[in-house]
Amino acid sequence: MNLNAIKKYVIGNPFETHAVENDADIITGELKYFLSNDDHTVLTYNMGEHDKVYGMGEAVRGINKRGWIYETYCSDDPMHTETKRSLYGAHPFAVIDGKDVFGVFIDYPDRLTFDIGYTQSNILTIKIPEANYKLYIIEGKTPLDVVKKFRVLIGKSYIAPFWSFGFQQSRWSYATSAAVQSVIDSYKNNGFPIDAVYLDIDYMEDFKDFTVSEERFPEFESFVASAKNENIHLVPIIDAGVKVENGYDVYEEGRANNYFCKDKNGEDFIAAVWPGKVCFPDFLNKVASEWFGLKYKRLIDAGIDGFWNDMNEPAIFYSEKALDKAIDKVASYKGKNIGVYDFFALKDTVLGLSNSYSDYSSMYHNVNGDLVCHEKVHNLYGYNMTKSASDAFKKISPDKNILIFSRASYIGMHRSSGIWMGDNQSWWSHIKLNLQMLPSLNMCGFLYTGADMVGFGDNCTEELALRWLALGIFNPLMRNHSALGTRDQEFYRFEKISVFRELVKLRYALIPYLYSEYIKSVENDDMMFKPLAFEYRDDKYAQSVEDQLMIGECIMIAPVYEPNAIGRYVYIPEDMIAVHFRSENDYSVEKYNRGHFFIEIPTNEVVIFIRKNKALPLVKSADCTANIDYSTLGFVGNVDKDFQYTICKECGAANGESRISKINCRVFGKSEGINLNYEVMK
């Protein structure tokens, strides 16, 4: 692709983030579109009244980001309410769609703000704390064109293994091998397909990275192997902080070799997370990063082939210094008659202990021999932790595609791994947030992603679980995960177990489509999930649809995300068929012309809208991805002319056949003389 449409401006002396892979030529002189103050720390753009602004990756609110102020700052914050400005990932890329169509990426690793019509409704203001950054302006004919050019700039997205498109079950925590086995057995005995079960922090010994508790997981290696025999991948968590403990080799090696972040006196910076006191590996130091990455080998040698990297903003509960100060401050109130302001201050003293500016600015990295304050490069920490793992996997196990995804991220990390959307809640509004984040993340290169299905914090209900599952089956990362102390939410726990089973099976029937569309999106720098506004540019109704998505080239979804609903209003942007799936085999079809419709969607149904002259490939579901049989592939189609569909090679090659010419298909529309063919992508 021609990168001439990209204008790169270098302001001051930027820190090298490695966000960009295929760089553009530097432009000097006047900034295009933006007005800038003298020192280039404030950029403003006058938006037209109806301009839309997309992007910002992992963030609250709608697909159109206009009307709020966002900070790109990796934040450990599980309360994703609409007033929040940052979540776990930092993705400073926005696409303006209006009188001008362009993208803007500020490559800068510290906190910056995008005020998108919040202070003044028609002004987009970007504030950067210092005049040292790179700015990219990406011009295009359409928002999608802009996104695709941006994606070429930042490089190809990570490809997750095929099995990671299977259903995955997690909980904080299945704390013993017996607990894990019981989850596997319960799913299998109840006839659910499943591919992975997660190991949260309790598999470790005292929360020490790369250890396994012998007491709770005796003979770990054979346990991993026996799970593998049942086609279950066990996926352990790795946390950023390394427990301070004499005799613990990871800590000892890190300390001896100066692999940890330092304080301003050159001592190891110590703060507390799950294990109590920890040191943070200095992932911006190349040698330290390589050292930590190779530690994953221990678990890979035990048969593990998937990981999730957590607490890597990095999350800090408290530092020793801050805790001492806070305790003194709290003690100073003892016996006093505390009024309103003192009471607020007292509360803030304790709440302000975690993830504080004062701690982040007391922590230092060694970047090629230079001491760099963490606060200046905060957004690169999780990115580099995860890159360290992914780089190491290529050395440890070059022939295997090991699953990796992270909580914190920055643009550029999308080349090494996926992300999950962090600690959401079992709230109805978070189903919608899950949907809205998918396209925004795709714009920033993150294709392998998903939310904690059914919600991490708080307690779910059966209805919420069913509605979330009906969206969850389309998330590339389809993982049911929940927090300590919340109500059990494994699907076999619910009364309507057979409905849950049929919907999970439907996911497996859809995997060839979902994985193919995922691979194509990676290869073509495309979005797997698109807002309707991107696809139907001339349709004024499609421009503001915030709760429906196009997935890949053939389908649209419109999930229900409200309680007690019998269905919902759907905007149908072209002639489509709505396929109401009650199971992979049991479905009914309605035809719609363009327009607004109320569509009844009971909780036991998933409705998939198939576009005109497109068809949806489906296989017979299997108990796991490894047993999907491609000779069962068929199509549900909405065609009146020949239709060609391409399927990615990993799916197509799975049963050794390169092309299957005889297919089962059920075609709606004028089916006479129609050919449905599919081809394996070369």
* Residue ranges in contact with ligand GLC by CB under 6 A: 172, 200-201, 237, 310, 407, 422-423, 481
When the beta carbons of 47 and 273 are compared against ligand GLC, the nearer one is: 273
> SS3 for 557?
strand
For residues 77, 79, 80, 85, the Cα torsion angle rounded to the nearest 10 degrees is -50
Read off the tokens for 198. 């997660």
Nearer to ligand GLC among residue 173 and residue 604 (C-beta): 173
DSSP annotation string for 600-627: E--TT-EEEEEETTEEEEE----SSGGG
Nearest approach in angstroms of CB 273 to ligand GLC is: 9
Regarding beta strands 587-592 and 614-618, do their DSSP bridges make them parallel or antiparallel, or are they unpaired?
Answer: unpaired
In 3D space, the residue among 143, 82, 30 whose CA is nearest the CA of residue 526 turns out to be: 143
Q: What's the rounded Cα separation, in Å, for the pair 217 and 202? A: 10
Cβ of residue 150: shortest distance to ligand GLC, in angstroms?
Answer: 28
Strand 276-279 to strand 270-273: parallel, antiparallel, or no bridges (unpaired)? antiparallel
DSSP string, 409-464: EETTGGGT-EEE--S-BS-THHHHHHHHHHHHHHHTT--SEE-EET-SBS---HHH
Beta carbons of 546 and 411 less than 8 angstroms apart: no
| Closest C-alpha among 34, 35, 96, 41 to residue 65 | 96
CB atoms within 10 A of CB 647: 24
Q: Report the residue number, 107 or 313, with the smaller CB distance to ligand GLC.
A: 313
H or E element: which one contains 634?
strand 634-638
In this structure, are strands 42-46 and 123-127 parallel, antiparallel, or unpaired? antiparallel
Distance of alpha carbon 210 from alpha carbon 220, whole angstroms: 12
Q: How far is the CB of 62 from ligand GLC (least distance, A)?
A: 24
| CB nearer ligand GLC, residue 151 or residue 378 | 378
In the complex, what is the shortest distance from the CB of residue 481 to ligand GLC, in angstroms, rounded to a whole number?
Answer: 6
CA 380 to centroid of chain Cα atoms: 16
Query: Residue 378 CB, nearest distance to ligand GLC (Å)?
Result: 18
Is-cis flag, bond preceding 314, omega within 30? yes
Tell me whether residue 446 or residue 635 sits nearer to ligand GLC (CB atom). Answer: 446
Nearer to ligand GLC, 54 or 420 (CB): 420
Residue 479 CB, nearest approach to ligand GLC (Å): 10
Strands 42-46 and 35-36: antiparallel
Nearer to ligand GLC, 195 or 423 (CB): 423
- Measured from the CB atom, the residue of 237 and 615 that comes closer to ligand GLC is 237
Choice between 201 and 279, CB closer to ligand GLC: 201
Rounded to the nearest 10 degrees, how much is the dihedral formed by the CA atoms of 221, 222, 227, 232?
30
Please, which residue, 111 or 407, has the CB nearer to ligand GLC? 407
Give the Cα separation of 319 and 270 in Å (integer): 7
Q: How far is the CB of 423 from ligand GLC (least distance, A)?
A: 5
Give me the least distance between CB of 486 and ligand GLC, in Å please. 11
Q: How far apart are CA 161 and CA 628, in angstroms?
A: 15
Cβ distance to ligand GLC smaller for residue 107 or 200:
200
Min CB(467)–ligand GLC separation in Å: 21
Pairing assessment for the beta strands 112-116 and 68-72 based on DSSP bridges: antiparallel
**Residue with token string 């012998």:** 214
Contact 243, 275 (CB under 8 A): yes
For the chain, the straight-line distance linking the first and the last C-alpha, in angstroms and rounded, comes to 20
What is the token pair recorded at 623? 């108990």
Tell me how far, at minimum, the Cβ of 311 lies from ligand GLC, in Å: 6
Is 173 or 442 the residue whose CB approaches ligand GLC more closely?
A: 173
Shortest distance (Å) from residue 407 CB to ligand GLC: 5
As measured in angstroms, the least distance from the Cβ of 242 to ligand GLC is 15
Q: Which residue is nearest to ligand GLC (CB)?
A: 172
